[in-house]
Chains A and B, each alone.
Chain A
């Protein structure tokens, strides 16, 4: 990868720390408002198409071919999946008018996507016209992972999803669980009321009023698929990365999720979009403010959060490296 690509990544990177101390919070804010960072911006749209569009969609296709369980739709979520298709393709078209369009033509829609050479006329509710299940089709056109929550009897249920780029969790395990069950293992958030508050917020979310938040972890290598299913393939890297300290700043990535929360208007389900971006510590350290902030966050992070995020082994070496860097001497490289 060239340094030009790396700097494009930095320009779009949703750096996730507003302060030197990080804690879980119900850090939701209205979506579609660009955030200006030290080196660029992010957040103008709920669907983001970037330079890695085709590569990531190819990767998703391969993952789904190997493991179809990454796309699950319980039967009652059919309407929500059609809604998701319209929401995501419509937003992609608004964000990328030179390459994508979604046109209504009587009872059908025409989706055009020049990036993939795709042109499709479909009728809502008629899977045959789409040539695919609508959630699967959506996932072939946008980079975001997708979870759909059905709302019934005062609770939210994760009843459908297409997730190929999970950070240490499994859609197949979570599907059918309630929102509160899904978040059962997260430390602190229950005592501090973060999850119940988020739950109440989501129950009241209105259509046409999308919200967003960020979440973060760290991972070894630029591997998007760090799902529980493939843990045997990537879990060992968390140990191996420490064997050669010289490789640590290039291999270790700050992995950030921009999550969008959207009440789908037709089905009243909640669309939860997860978009993952990564930059290596070495790339990140080229931005002095980020380097200082991230070192401070890592140093201060309480041990239970470190353990839950899977940072136990490399939190201290990562912070130490960031502190040791002279920003001026660092050149983007990979």
Chain B
């Protein structure tokens, strides 16, 4: 097997051609095959591999992937090996009254099924310079903490885990946590009162330079943040996994009118203005396609731009007379450009 995780990314398009028709893999996404499923205590764990048997792209501990599950897209933390992994491992809690993604994974998904997945995204990375990591998890929120523990063990970082869970559930992830922690076993708590007492004690005696990572139910994360703040933890040292995706949302559709020719183009959700202009053979110079370099600035003659770039100054945004077409969109249904 090659050591090149990047190859799995690069070859995902090729893999997409060789499988059954039905779902298309988005550009830059991965095609993964379900290699193993196991269910315990209301949690279904999946092992996802590259159909070609390649190593998958490495990821930063705490990363998640977005999976297309039963017609929806959901984010799941990666719990397994993070350097050139042979598989991505996720654990999914059945949410009976959820929007259907977890139900589909629990009820429908079988070994051999192929799924479309985003590349791993990192929004909950360990702090390399931290003197000590305090890792606090509640329930299924243990998932990103598992890969944090792996990294801490590999690079011999100082860490401790406090895990709040109901004794009857999350048996699989709990067992994995206990195995990973080795001689540095987690503190297990089984009620809100017990968690509060443990946090008050553990968060009041840490060395300067410690960082706190919290993942779990919203109310639990808020409570932990409140306790840490009361005990004097600076906000920069408190890391909360909110599952907000770093990527830009696809945005609403809008229409562009090209002032010089009078042509009109519909910009669908998920398609950038630049892509639509290119598709209509209206050339616009560009470099980064990330809203950074300033190359693809286009003059706006009517309509209000929705600025999503990093290039324009506040004054230029307020003026509303130009738009970085690689990332920005429109607040109004019609945007007129000097093209």
Contact = CB atoms under 8 A, between A and B. Distances in A.
Q: Do A and B originate from a single complex?
A: yes
Interface of A: 25-30, 74, 76-80, 83, 86, 89-90, 93-94, 102-104, 109, 124-125, 150-154, 159, 193, 197-198, 200-201, 204, 206-208, 211, 265-269
B119 interface: yes
B306 interface: no
Given A152-B129, A197-B311, A86 B58 contact: yes
Contacts of A89: 3
Contacts of A153: 236
Contacts of A25: 293-294
Q: Give the size category of B's interface with A.
A: 35 or more
B151 interface: yes
Contact of A76 (B1, B3, B128): B128
Contacts of B310: 197, 200-201, 204
A80 B157 CA distance: 14
Interface in B1-21: 1-7, 9
B218 to A, nearest CB: 24
B151 to A, nearest CB: 7
26 contacts: A26-B292, A28-B288, A74-B129, A76-B130, A79-B151, A79-B155, A86-B84, A90-B4, A94-B4, A94-B6, A102-B3, A103-B2, A104-B84, A124-B83, A159-B129, A193-B313, A197-B292, A197-B311, A198-B292, A200-B310, A207-B58, A207-B120, A208-B6, A266-B82, A266-B151, A268-B60
A265 to B, nearest CB: 4
Given A28-B288, A86-B83, A125-B154, A266 B128 contact: no
B88 interface: no
10 interchain residue pairs of minimum CB distance: A265-B58, A76-B129, A201-B292, A268-B60, A268-B125, A76-B128, A104-B3, A102-B3, A153-B236, A29-B287
A267 B154 CA distance: 12
A198 B310 CA distance: 9
Taking chain A's interface residues, is the majority helix, strand, or loop, or is none over half, making it mixed?
A: mixed
A77 B119 CA distance: 24
A28 B287 contact: yes
Contacts of B59: 207, 265-266
Nearest to A205: B290
Given A152-B129, A206-B121, A266 B58 contact: yes
Interface of B: 1-7, 9, 55, 57-61, 82-84, 119-122, 125-130, 151, 154-155, 236, 246, 287-290, 292-294, 310-311, 313
A78 B9 contact: no
Nearest to A200: B310
Contacts of A80: 128
Nearest to B291: A201
Contacts of B288: 26, 28-30, 201, 211
A99 to B, nearest CB: 16
Given A83-B58, A104-B84, 13 more contacts: A29-B288, A74-B129, A78-B155, A90-B3, A90-B4, A103-B3, A104-B3, A201-B290, A201-B310, A204-B310, A207-B59, A265-B59, A267-B128
A225 B130 CA distance: 35
Contacts of B130: 76
Contacts of A103: 1-3
Contact of B1 (A79, A104, A159): A104
B293 A27 contact: yes
A197 B1 CA distance: 40
Nearest to A199: B310
Contacts of A154: 236
Contact of A268 (B3, B122, B154): B122
A315 to B, nearest CB: 27
Contacts of A198: 292
A124 B150 CA distance: 13
Contacts of A204: 246, 290, 310
A264 to B, nearest CB: 8
Contacts of A27: 287, 293
A28 B2 contact: no
A46 B9 CA distance: 16
B6 A90 contact: yes
